[in-house]
Amino acid sequence: MQADYVIVGSGSAGCAMAYRLSEAGKSVIVIEHGGTDMGPFIQMPGALSYPMNMARYDWGYSSQPEPHLDGRRLAAPRGKVIGGSSSINGMVYVRGHARDFDTWRDMGADGWGYADVVPYYERLENWHERGHGGDPDWRGKDGPLHVTRGRMDNPLTRTFIDAGRQAGYEVTGDYNGEKQEGFGPFDMTVYRGRRWSAANAYLRPALKRKNCTMVNAFARKVVIENGRATGVEVERGGNVEMIGATSEVILAASAFNSPKLLMLSGIGPAEHLREHDIEVVADRPGVGQNLQDHLELYLQATSKQPVSLFRYWNLLGKAYVGARWLFTKTGPGASNQFESAAFIRSAAGVDYPDVQIHFLPIAVRYDGKAAAEGHGFQAHVGPMRSKSRGAVTLASADPKDAPNILFNYMSHEDDWRDFRTCIRLVREVFGQEAFAPYYGHEIQPGADAQSDEALNAFIKEHVESAYHPCGTAKMGRADDPMAVVDPETRVIGVEGLRLADSSIFPQVPNGNLNAPSIMVGEKAADHVLGKTPLPPSNREPWMHPNWQTEQR
């Protein structure tokens, strides 16, 4: 088997590239180890807590014991299914702040500043909130990825925005438009009540073309001959075979599996490769390093009124939600229930938001277990730009072995201060007049947890990943020893090999990673095809005029 381009991974970036390369007439083979994404657990937005906890859809990775979190191992799910993590994620759609991408550019990712990436966001989006507030002029109208908003039927969802306004924060009609900073409605990748994953948006249309095929196989390594990638060694049906690439091999296998594949192929820190008796093809010390993520915790409170989603948290309620979704694609099952959000700055002197809040009108854990106290609500909160860095390394030279993942969470003193600030800022919002008819008492951390020491203890025990791993094969200039790919996503030191997924982010952007990952796939496809990038935008994003002296 061979094609012009062989893409490893059918996730957010891989699907976008398969679509654009096949659209241009190139032959494409997509290698995906996971199975079908059909079925209600994935396609029903309200069921999002199921697929990310199902071994069938997840690689099942977890971190090494985290030294600053009392040795806890944190879950690190990645989608092992058609659509990759876009098929098991929370469907939250966040482009990232303008300054995120200008920072990428300043770190050596030339051509990836805000002005450069905005046209790709506009190309990928089909935004459906026209006429309902927001910034339609800043949004894409006819891209493959449908982006919508929840109906905000639940009074708690609207109350959260009102409380933010009362606390003195900005309100924004569209955090993906001109103004990210403030409280406002959340965007989601849901269309006509269904999860609109990268598979639904990009891969299915691509596979209808004769020049695009998908192979269900486990990628073992990139085959490199005389310094050039010529294909991918895969295992399927118990046999090891090679899938050839006449033009290029493109890795899009996640922030864990892309660096793992590079290292198994002889590209990475030479000393580490030799430890595992892997022949060094290119000594790139940055492979697997620079691992970043967003950590978060949630503040939970009881509701004095029975208005939360807890009313559906029983057998009958779930049956009703499921049946209504199955037959009409409406009701609570048609939303991820993250319908209001906030992006705020933690202190005066911070020039753009460094805290994200997801509001949820129920008190429930990620594993789907509701709070014992019944009706309630919660805010997921965490700092956006932690200084902690981790690494992905090989456990062995056996491709079947999971990589070693150490995030090194909370290794920087600032992270503790920032998390305590996050908790106190959310408490202040929950204490506003708007919440008075609903707010009962704090479930967690609990009213007794006020001191720095008490909050630190709560953070250490309860903090968990927001599942935004990135940075493990960072993009930079060819003369940067820690860069793994150049600004055209070519792996430095090897011909005919590219990498395009969240691994290449030099720094984690503000918010959830699905949108920037798809954007990377879109832009990388133009580089692969040798096209002139889309013309830069001249849009000027909103910045708080008094950020130097005011926190809000």
| Domain CATH number, residue 311 | 3.30.410.40
Domain boundary among 462, 483, 503: 462
Q: Is 90 annotated as a binding residue?
A: yes
Q: Which of 147, 111, 201 is nearest to 534 (CA)?
A: 111
Query: What's the helix, strand, coil split of the chain in %, to 5?
Result: 30, 25, 45
pLDDT at 39 (0 to 100): 85
Residue 473 lies in a domain: yes
- On whether residue 233 sits in a domain, the answer given is yes
Instruction: Tell me whether residue 404 is in a domain.
Output: no
Regarding whether 418 and 284 lie in a shared domain, the answer is no
Last residue of a domain, one of 447, 462, 477: 462
The residue from 462, 497, 526 where one domain ends is 462
**Do 419 and 499 belong to one domain?**
no
Between CA 78 and CA 32 the distance in angstroms is 13
CB 366 within 8 A of CB 49: yes
Q: What is the dihedral of CA 186, 190, 194, 196, to 10 degrees?
A: -140
Query: Can you give the pLDDT at residue 533?
Result: 97
Tokens 């990428």: give the residue.
104
In the DSSP assignment, the letter for residue 234 is E
Residue 171 annotated as lining a ligand binding site? no
Residue 402 within any structural domain of the chain = no
> Would 544 be classed as within a structural domain?
no
Question: Is residue 215 domain-shared with residue 96, that is, in the same domain?
Answer: yes
**Which pair of tokens denotes residue 106?**
């300043």
Domain co-membership, 48 together with 94: yes
Alpha-carbon gap, residue 210 to 186, rounded angstroms: 37
160 and 40 in a single domain? The answer is: no
Q: Are residues 521 and 456 part of one domain?
A: no
**pLDDT, tens digit, for every residue of 295-325?**
999 999 999 999 999 999 999 999 999 999 9
- CATH code for the domain of 126: 3.50.50.60
Same domain? For 156 and 262 the reply is no
Range of the domain at 162: 151-185+295-383+410-462
Q: Is 108 annotated as a binding residue?
A: no
Overall domain count for the chain: 2
Question: Rounded distance, CA 231 to CA 249, Å?
Answer: 6
122 & 2 share domain:
yes
Q: Is the pTM of this model over 0.85?
A: yes
Active site residues: 468
Residues 6+ apart with CB under 8 A from 153: none
- DSSP string over 296-311: EEEEEEEESSS-SGGG
Is position 547 within any domain? no
pLDDT at residue 131 in the model: 67
Strand partners, 301: 377, 442
Residues pairing with 358 in the sheet:
341, 380
Whether residue 438 lies inside any domain: the answer is yes
For 443-491, what is each residue's pLDDT tens digit? 999 999 999 999 999 999 999 999 999 999 999 999 999 999 999 999 9
The span from the CA of 73 to the CA of 69, in Å, is 9
Tell whether 44 is in a known binding site. no
Which of 218, 234, 76, 111 is closest to 504 using CA atoms? 111
Are 130 and 238 within one domain? yes
- As a whole number of angstroms, the distance between CA 164 and CA 431 comes to 10
Q: Is 78 helix (H, G, I), strand (E, B) or coil?
A: coil
Same domain, 23 and 140: yes
Q: How remote is the C-alpha of 472 from its chain's centroid?
A: 14
377 plus 508 within the same structural domain: no
Tell whether 267 and 364 lie within a shared domain.
no
| 92 annotated to a ligand binding site | yes
In a domain, 13, yes or no: yes
CB 406 within 8 A of CB 63: yes
Return per-residue pLDDT of the chain as tens, 552 residues: 999 999 999 999 999 999 999 999 999 999 999 999 998 899 999 999 889 889 999 999 999 999 999 999 999 999 999 999 999 999 999 999 999 999 999 999 999 999 999 999 999 999 998 767 788 999 999 999 999 999 999 999 999 999 999 999 999 999 999 999 999 999 999 999 999 999 999 999 999 999 999 999 999 999 999 999 999 999 999 999 999 999 999 999 999 999 999 999 999 999 999 999 999 999 999 999 999 999 999 999 999 999 999 999 999 999 999 999 999 999 999 999 999 999 999 999 999 999 999 999 999 876 777 777 899 999 999 999 999 999 999 999 999 999 999 999 999 999 999 999 999 999 999 999 999 999 999 999 999 999 999 999 999 999 999 999 999 999 999 999 999 999 999 999 999 999 999 999 999 999 999 999 999 999 999 999 999 999 999 999 999 999 999 999
b vs e for 507-516, b when ≥16 Cβ sit within 10 Å of the residue's Cβ? bbbbbbbbbb
Q: Distance (Å, rounded) from C-alpha 483 to C-alpha 475?
A: 6
